[in-house]
Structure 1
């Protein structure tokens, strides 16, 4: 195979529609645009979302919600994954090295999902009220 011999499969390419090239072409005179009106004129057409002067749907609907761009710095970890980690002392660096939270994370919080049997000491990591109770019940602590 040579670069100069490569061509698309038969029927894969269609010839471009040549409009406004006389009666014999089948698309002469108005060139498939019909008669008169904004859509028939060159350079004349409305912008995206324009509804002929009626208030567009985008502006009729209420504005709602907000997504903080700071969420990408937050991460969470469950009690189950914390117990699987098997470390006595856990901090942000240990979680990043284990691949449990993304490298970009700055704030990590433990959520109560699953069980924790071993005592774990958390440093620089937050926890929900339920998770905090579970950690302390297992003999661990938060710092």
Structure 2
């Protein structure tokens, strides 16, 4: 290989479209913009969703619902997850290290899905009423 022979791969480069450079180019005169109208003029365009003065779709539809921004900080684990974890003391850090909850989780709650046979002590972790009853039934507790 010589410095004077290197060139880009075939098809990697292509000529830019040169508009308004005469009839022969195929993009002369109106330069591919058609005739007249807002879109043919320099600087003439509208905002996203603009429908020519008609009430835009996003304003015709009713506002509905709400999605909390704090939901991403909430996580939940099941009784089956606690069983598989096999620790006798469980806190947020232990759950993050075992990858049962995401790294950004701040609030964790245990839900009643699956069975629990081992005694587990939860520290700083909430539980639903059913899950709490199941944990306390095997001798565990919530701290």
2:66 alignment counterpart: 66
- In the alignment, structure 1 residue 8 sits paired with structure 2 residue 8: yes
* TM-score, structure 2 normalization: 0.83
SS in 1 for 2:135: helix
Q: Tell me, in whole angstroms, the C-alpha distance in 1 between the residues paired with 2:135 and 2:39.
A: 69
Shift of 1:2: 7.2
How many residues are treated as equivalent by the alignment? 143
- Structure 1: any 5+ residue segments left out of the alignment? none
SS in 1 for 2:69: coil
- Structure 2: any 5+ residue segments left out of the alignment? none
1:43 alignment counterpart: 43
2:120 alignment counterpart: 120
Once the two structures are overlaid, the 10-residue window that deviates more, 19-28 or 50-59, is 19-28
Closer, same or farther: CA 103–45 of 1 in aligned 2, 3 Å: closer
2:130 alignment counterpart: 130
Task: Say what the alpha-carbon RMSD is for the aligned residues.
Answer: 2.3
Q: Tell me, in whole angstroms, the C-alpha distance in 1 between the residues paired with 2:48 and 2:4.
A: 42
2:102 alignment counterpart: 102
Closer, same or farther: CA 103–24 of 1 in aligned 2, 3 Å: closer
Closer, same or farther: CA 119–21 of 1 in aligned 2, 3 Å: same
1:27 alignment counterpart: 27
* TM-score, structure 1 normalization: 0.83
Per-residue CA distance 1:94-120 (angstroms, 9 max, x = gap) = 323333223433221101111101121
Per-residue CA distance 1:4-29 (angstroms, 9 max, x = gap) = 76533223433222221223333222
